[in-house]
Amino acid sequence: MPKVVTPDERERKRRAILDVAAAEIARHGYDRANINTIAERAGIGRGTIYLYFASKEDVLETLLDTIGGMIDAAVRSCIAADLPWQARLRLLAQAFADLAREHHDFFRVHVSALYGVNRDVGAPMALRLRTSVRELATALGEAARRGEIADLPPEPAAAYILGALESLALLPDVLGDGVDFSQQVDVLATLLWRGFAPP
């Protein structure tokens, strides 16, 4: 009699496949990542992956959607906080540092998709990120009208903030594994606030 897989077990297996795929793609790049290796490292047969994902492309799209959703949620939560903008920028930096630490490989795949050479991968990710840019830009524009922050063009300002926040994912690669994320959050939040503080 075949084993019945519960929805929770199915989601855990799907998440395990994504975690392994993120590590594999972050390490070797999308083109060199291998479905057989992903299956082996996830502890499943190659055919089992296709019970969860239609193709290697589907795995990548799901990875990017997952991290994109995490970024959208972090941005929404931080800009909705009832805090002065200096504290909101620090909260954003902390949220992105947490993502970079807890989902390092997902975040590296995201950054690689955006800034890598594969336009087929980068274009959909950029479209997804525009949602966060628009939401942040709207909040920045309203804050500037109230005099809470400097009056800068909101959409480019939002894109610069998100670009700076994304750089947190690369810190361990650049500064080494012993990165003190709390210190880097303070540095980034200070730099952002100096650029956005009202005159």
pLDDT per residue of the chain (199 residues) written in tens, 0 to 9: 556 678 888 888 889 999 999 999 888 888 888 888 998 998 888 888 888 999 888 988 888 888 889 999 999 999 999 999 999 999 999 998 888 888 888 888 887 777 765 555 666 677 778 889 999 999 999 999 999 999 999 999 999 999 898 887 777 667 667 777 788 889 999 999 999 998 8
99, with CB counted inside 10 A (0-12, 13-18, 19+), is: buried
SS3 198: coil
Q: Is the Cβ–Cβ distance between 25 and 33 less than 8 Å?
A: yes
User: What is the chain's Cα-based Rg?
Assistant: 19
Here the tokens at position 161 are 């903030």
* In this structure, CATH architecture of domain 55-196: Orthogonal Bundle (1.10)
Give the ranges where 29-84 is alpha helix by DSSP (H): 35-42, 46-52, 56-80
Question: DSSP code of 170?
Answer: G
Residue found by looking up tokens 């730099």 in the block: 191
Domain ranges of the chain: 55-196
